[in-house]
Structure 1
């Protein structure tokens, strides 16, 4: 079962502010927080100012370089070619940037990796699960870069950084764009990362123009013993905002999610409901809810606007490849 994200976000945010006061980040001309002149500027917005401060001290493609990240500074003498990724977001990011990792952490989702990436990662060895990493397996792969996040693997950073240069974002999820830029900075591929996000925003604009009317969209997710309505501080919440889609008041919140019970499923109602279960297949809670009279009485269900979606894309994607697939789904259903 996943950690209590809302509580963890609050703790990490406080720690980040303290770190920022003691060691202020100074963005460089090629840092994550700056305009990239080579691509004509950025078309996209970012969601997390702290992550946006992180980046490299030299221009795109230049090595050696020092990358400022969530747990300090990491020097990279040359462009990394043997990358180990510690979560699904980093996996999506490096693949989008044209890098096939030599090792990856797995999730509790289908096949251990997001389903939409399964064909791209055949043959890549696993290095444990995201919450149970195997350091010996990581070391055996002789990586020259390890990428992950403070939220997932903070306590293992000292050991990981002894194996190879390690770059950590603050957390996965809503800063997914900034995290891509940070990995781009680690690989010397800042320009490519900006280009991917510009392409994403152009596609988001196209989807926005195709949406019929002004629907409110509800995001419902079933976890083990936990039912959530997702808010703005989530991967999918950021995408909905980029498309200009309105949210019900109980989800238009600057939090990851709000928890509800099966008896309060009416709080999930909206013009459209997109829902999924974490893990392999519909959860027991999803089956119980979607077969209940309360569910059948929801306006979205009556209008046939309650849509099951791929959890590994909508909630575990956490990168530009997954984001583009979410946009395709939104276009299909709302366009």
Structure 2
């Protein structure tokens, strides 16, 4: 089989990749890139990047596979019906990407720094700095790069306005300390503030238990640390890929005496939510669905 970088070079030499007319310089994590003024064939290589495009009415021609779903999350599947799956964020199929003849690629440094030169040889490539809590920064970069900066900012402003309305409606409920747990195959994590759900809860104005009030992402823990999940309300989600391992882990922990003895459990203030929405998708559409969950749990009127 021909190596991807050799295939890319051969295609460029053969002239079968038509490089678009460039119009604007975009500064990003890997430098400055001249991008087309009105890109028509965009490939996006992160899940949160896909949601950024969809939020401004743009469907990519290719995208990294959703971490859950075949190949897309349920909450975006209808909008992705004609989009080509180019592999996972951490394992991009470069040959398939070349075949799509993109005029712009959106990538992420944490995921794609090692293949940046190959991506840039295929099409102008704009790279966000990091993942985790930075989805709004990334969305602003992505939408600017595709020529939809104003639309992207309008969407982010609407999101912030929605959070402000929810925060105001919650009133004294904001004093509740919110705890977050995630179950995966063979491991359990406690989530902190530099995570998708953690950032959202912080923006709303919720307090976090002292054990989770950290500017970090998450930490794998053992059962002895179950008491660290104590709080006024607990949300948990399970990363289940279909092999049953995530659900087995969740069932084991949820039935453990230490879990059952948590005051928040005994008070009936534990809520199971979607892993895709609260953690894995990490983008604009998921963010709004997370806010829907908050409204439902607290009995608020919809701010949609």
Does the TM-score normalized on the shorter chain lie above 0.5?
A: yes
What is the rounded CA distance, in whole Å, between the counterparts of 2:139 and 2:124 in structure 1?
17
User: Which of the numbers 72, 76, 98 marks the counterpart of 1:117?
Assistant: 76
Report whether the alignment pairs 1:78 with 2:42: no
In structure 2, relative to structure 1, the CA distance for the partners of 1:233 and 1:296 (3 Å cut) is same
The structural deviation recorded for 1:94 is: 0.5
Report whether the alignment pairs 1:322 with 2:279: no
The answer for the alignment partner of 1:135 in structure 2 is 94
Please list every run of 5 or more consecutive structure 2 residues that lacks an aligned counterpart in the other structure. Answer: 1-21, 300-304
Larger radius of gyration: 2
The answer for the alignment partner of 1:263 in structure 2 is 224
The answer for the alignment partner of 1:177 in structure 2 is 136
TM-score, structure 1 as length reference: 0.78
Deviation per residue, 1:194-213 (Å, 9 max, x gap): 11111111111121122253
Q: Is the 8 A contact 2:36 2:104 kept in 1?
A: no
Deviation per residue, 1:164-214 (Å, 9 max, x gap): 111110112211111010011101211111111111111111211222532
The answer for the alignment partner of 1:221 in structure 2 is 182
Aligned residues: 273
| Aligned-partner SS, 2:107 | strand
The answer for the alignment partner of 2:250 in structure 1 is 286
The structural deviation recorded for 1:138 is: 0.4
The structural deviation recorded for 1:112 is: 3.3
TM-score, structure 2 as length reference: 0.86
What is the rounded CA distance, in whole Å, between the counterparts of 1:80 and 1:173 in structure 2?
27
Report whether the alignment pairs 1:249 with 2:210: yes
Deviation per residue, 1:237-291 (Å, 9 max, x gap): 1111110000011111011112211232121121111111223364322111012
Q: Is the 8 A contact 1:97 1:192 kept in 2?
A: yes
User: Which of the numbers 181, 204, 215 marks the counterpart of 2:163?
Assistant: 204
In structure 2, relative to structure 1, the CA distance for the partners of 1:201 and 1:108 (3 Å cut) is closer
The answer for the alignment partner of 1:231 in structure 2 is 192
Q: Is the 8 A contact 2:66 2:281 kept in 1?
A: no
| Aligned-partner SS, 2:253 | helix
Higher mean C-alpha deviation, range 275-284 or range 173-182: 275-284
Please list every run of 5 or more consecutive structure 1 residues that lacks an aligned counterpart in the other structure. Answer: 1-62
What is the rounded CA distance, in whole Å, between the counterparts of 2:240 and 2:45 in structure 1?
18
Q: Is the 8 A contact 2:223 2:253 kept in 1?
A: yes
User: Which of the numbers 237, 258, 261 marks the counterpart of 1:276?
Assistant: 237
The structural deviation recorded for 1:110 is: 2.7
| Aligned-partner SS, 1:221 | strand
| Aligned-partner SS, 1:246 | coil
| Aligned-partner SS, 1:115 | coil
What is the rounded CA distance, in whole Å, between the counterparts of 1:248 and 1:88 in structure 2?
29
The answer for the alignment partner of 2:201 in structure 1 is 240
Higher mean C-alpha deviation, range 303-312 or range 259-268: 259-268
The structural deviation recorded for 1:231 is: 1.1
What is the rounded CA distance, in whole Å, between the counterparts of 2:137 and 2:108 in structure 1?
12
Report whether the alignment pairs 1:105 with 2:64: yes
Runs of 4+ in structure 1 off by over 3 angstroms are none
What is the rounded CA distance, in whole Å, between the counterparts of 2:225 and 2:215 in structure 1?
21
The structural deviation recorded for 1:224 is: 3.0
Deviation per residue, 1:84-105 (Å, 9 max, x gap): 1112101100100111010111
